[in-house]
Amino acid sequence: MYDYVIVGAGSAGCVLANRLSVDPAIKVLLLEAGGPDDSPLIHTPAMMAMLPDTSHDWRYRTAPQMHCNMRRFAWPRGRVLGGSSSINYMIYTRGHARDYDYWRQLGNPGWSYQDVLPYFRKAENNERTENQFHGRGGPLNVADHRFRHPLSEMFIAAAVAAGVPRNDDFNGAIQDGCGFYQLTQKEGARWSTASAYLRPAMGRPNLAVVTGATVCGIRFSGHRAVGVDYARRGRFDNVQARREVILSGGAINSPQLLLLSGVGPADEIRQHGIDVVHDLPGVGRNLQDHLGTFVRYEINQPISLFGTTPEQLGALQVQYAEKREGLFTSNIAEAGAFVRTNTRFDTPNLQLYFLPHCLTDSPQDAFQPNRHGISLAFHVNRPGSRGRIGLASADPIDQPLIDPNYLSDPADMPQFVTGLRRMRTILGNDPIGGLLGRELGPGAEVRTDSEIASYVRDRASFTVFHPVGTCKMGTDSQAVVDPTLKVRGLDGLRVVDASVMPTLIGGNTNAPTIMIAEKAADMILAAG
C-alpha cells in the first residue's frame, strides 16, 4: 500500500512525485502508461517535430469539427515519462497576470497572480536573471537559445518596424511585444519534468515508478477513492492508496478516467453500462484549446531551413554531439510576439510564433518544407469556443471522444481575420519584407473577411497543443474540483494537471501546469 498513487508521469505528475517523496515516511507510487524517455529524438531539441505519431504520443484524433469543414485534427499528447513536456516545443511562457486574477474572481481563492507567482519562481532556475518575477535554484532550467536563426532575428526587426515593441521577457512586468522565447532546456538539451523533477527523485526508496501501466479505473469504497486498477504487459493489477489517488493524466486522460470510473454526468456514464459512483456534470466539459493558423511565403534568398544537404546535416550532428551547439539546439519556433488587434483588449489577444521555414498545406507533412520560405503562426489567446471530452466506449483502451468544438463561438473568427491581416502587415516590413516572394497561404487573392474566414476553416487551422479545462476548478455547478483540487463530493481524490484550469491562459500551458503541481504539492503535504 502507498500513501499516494499518482496517475500520469507528465508535466504535473513528475513534479508531484518529487515533492511528495521528499519526506521518507511518505510512500509514493507513480504510474505511467508510456515508456521511459530514452529516445534521442526527445532530448535533441530540433527533433521535436519527429515525435508525434510515434510510441511517445497518444496519437489522439478529434471528432470531425463542424465549423472547420468536418476536418479531424491530430492532437499530440505525450505518452512517456515527462508527458507532453517530453514532446513539446519547450517554450517557457506563463500567460498574463490577469489570467490568474480572473481565476480568483471566478471563486478560486489562492489562485491570483500574486498567489501563484511564488510557485513559478520556486520551480524555476532561470539562467539569465533572478528578480521579482524569476527564480534561480529551482528544478526547471529556463535558458536562452544557444542558436538563433538569422531569419528569426529579421522577424523581430520587422515586427519592431511594424510598431510592436521589443520585449526580452514575456514573463516579466509586461507581456506585450516581440522577442525570443526562453526555453525549458539545459546545456542545449530538452529539460522536461522527467529530467528536472523525476530523475533526481528516482533513487528514493519511498518512490516507485512503474511505466507501461495503463490505469483502467479508480477503486472506491463508498465515496472514497482507495486505489486504482491498471493493466501492464497483458496482466491486470491493482494498488491501494492510504491517503489519496491523484489524477495527473492531463485534460484528456483525467476526465476519461473519471468517466470510466463512474464519476461524471450520470446519463453519459449509464449510456456506456458503467455504474454511477458520483453524478458530477462538469467532468469532461469546458474543454478549451488554442487553435492556430498561419501565413506563409516563399522568400527570394536560400537562407531558410529548406535544402539542408546530408553533408550539412552530418556536420550539424557532430556539432551538437560534441559541443551541444548549433541548429540542433533550436526549437525552430525561436521568436514570437504577444499583440493586441484592437484597443478594446486589455491584454494581448494573439500569440505569434515565427518559423524560418515554409509550412505546407498538408497536415501530414506541414513541417516538412518543400521550398525556401517562412511562416508566421498565431492563435487567439482566449477563445470563447468550448468543447468536451467524452467516452467512445467503456473500454479504457479505446480513445475517448475529443470534441474541441473549434470556432463555435462567433467572437473567435473575427480575431483570426484581423490577426491574419496583422501578420501580413508585420511581414511586409523590412528586413523580412525585402525577402518576400509569393504568398502561398492564404494567398494574395484571399483579401475579404469572408475569404480569410474560409481559409481558416478549410485549410490553415491546427492545434497549438494547449487543451485545458475539462476538470475545472471552482465552486459552481460545473466545477469538478474545488480550489484545493479535491474532486467535489468525493474523498481521497484530487486532480492536478492542466484540466483544472477554469479558463485558458494567454500563453503556452506547460509552465502553468508545473506551477499548479508545485502549489498542489504544498496543499497536499499541508493536509497530511
Q: What is the pLDDT of residues 500-527, one digit of tens each?
A: 999 999 999 999 999 999 999 999 999 9
Query: Which tens digits make up the pLDDT trace of 458-497?
Result: 987 789 999 999 999 999 999 999 999 999 999 999 999 9
- Look at residue 363 in the predicted model and tell me its pLDDT: 46
pLDDT digits (tens, 9 = 90+) for 81-136: 999 999 999 999 999 999 999 999 999 999 999 999 999 999 999 999 999 999 99
DSSP class of 368: S
260, 471 contact by CB (below 8 A) = no
Catalytic residue among 67, 145, 149, 466: 466
Other C-beta atoms closer than 10 Å to the C-beta of 438 total: 13
Q: In the chain, where are the structural domains located?
A: 1-61+72-142+183-285+467-528, 145-181+291-380+407-460
- Tell me the CA distances in angstroms from 251 to 145, 213, 430, 509, one per residue in order: 29, 19, 41, 11
End-to-end CA separation in angstroms for the chain: 17
Quote the strand ranges of 333-449, DSSP E. Answer: 335-339, 350-355, 373-380, 388-390, 401-403, 436-441
In 3D space, the residue among 109, 111, 84 whose CA is nearest the CA of residue 95 turns out to be: 111
317 residue type, one letter: Q
At residue 35, the 3 state secondary structure works out as strand
Band (pLDDT 50/70/90 cuts) for residue 153 is: very high
* Third-level CATH fold of 145-181+291-380+407-460: Cholesterol Oxidase; domain 2 (3.30.410)
Distances in Å between the Cα of 205 and the Cα atoms of 22, 23, 208, 241, 455 are 11, 11, 7, 17, 56
H-helix segments, 30-96:
40-43
Residue with the three cell numbers 496519437: 59
Mean pLDDT of 318-326: 95
**Residue 379 falls in the annotated catalytic set:** no
Region 369-375: what's the mean pLDDT? 87
Whether the domain at 1-61+72-142+183-285+467-528 and the domain at 145-181+291-380+407-460 fall into the same CATH topology? no
**For residue 367, is pLDDT > 60?**
no
Percent of the chain with pLDDT over 90: 95
Helix axes 510-527, 13-20, angle to 10 degrees: 30
CATH class of residue range 1-61+72-142+183-285+467-528: alpha beta
State the pTM of this model.
0.97
User: How far is 133 from 171, CA to CA, in rounded Å?
Assistant: 7
Distance (Å, whole) CA 491 – CA 487 = 7
In the block, residue with C-alpha cell 505519431: 53
Q: What pLDDT does residue 368 have?
A: 59
Query: Does pLDDT of 364 surpass 60?
Result: no
**Grid cell digits, residue 481:** 474540483
E strand or H helix at 241: strand 235-247
